[in-house]
Chains A and B, each alone.
Chain A
């Protein structure tokens, strides 16, 4: 059964550095999402992406963040100038049209 994959599983970075989190959605899916979960808190929506553009973003998703689908398979989240409070699990998800979103295993980002 196809699954959403994410790399790396754990990323450690210094405050102020840029990170790119990578996701490979399920191949025939059209909608892509990023969520994050700070330790001990809720899973929060960051952004949705469809037809090569952002369709919705939360107030968390400010100029520090960007998303890209650079080729036919990858979907990336870039965080510029990371802050301590960006430390979280970042989940990628995708779906086609059934409203069920399929989640990746997550990337744990640690900002030191």
Chain B
């Protein structure tokens, strides 16, 4: 089965604290994973993808095939990081994205 699980619907941390948004996947093929972010009243936009291995806005995510995880991390949260975060799995061939349910991250001042 092709599935993405984000166990936390809501996550609240204080500014300056570390953040980790969890994502686990189930996929028989070679996984290609993404994190999308949706700021208030804005569209879904790509935050990062595992194959590029880059850091965007201080966020990083490492694909762990053994644990089938792709957790999103940031060492020091900022207030502007408050948003909905979606983990997504690309199904090869079909070119469709399978999304997790999303995590609403709130950064408290």
Question: Which positions in A face B, CB cutoff 8 Å?
Answer: 3-4, 31, 33, 35, 41-45, 48, 55-56, 58, 91, 99-106
Q: With an 8 A cutoff between CB atoms, is B99 at the interface? A: yes
Instruction: Out of B32, B34, B43, B99, name the residue touching A104 (CB < 8 Å).
Output: B43
Judged by a CB distance under 8 angstroms, whether B56 is at the interface is: no
A99-B32, A104-B43, A105-B43 known; A43-B95 Cβ under 8 A: no
Which of B45, B49, B90, B100 meets A103, CB within 8 Å? B45
User: Size of chain B's interface in residues, with CB distance under 8 A?
Assistant: 20
Partner of B44, one of A31, A58, A91: A91
Contact A103 B94 (CB under 8 A): no
Partner of A48, one of B44, B86, B96, B100: B96
Instruction: Tell me whether A100 and B96 are in contact in the complex, defined as CB-CB below 8 angstroms, given that A41-B101, A91-B44, A105-B43 are known contacts.
Output: no
Choose among B34, B43, B102 the residue with the greatest number of A CB atoms under 10 Å from its CB. Answer: B43
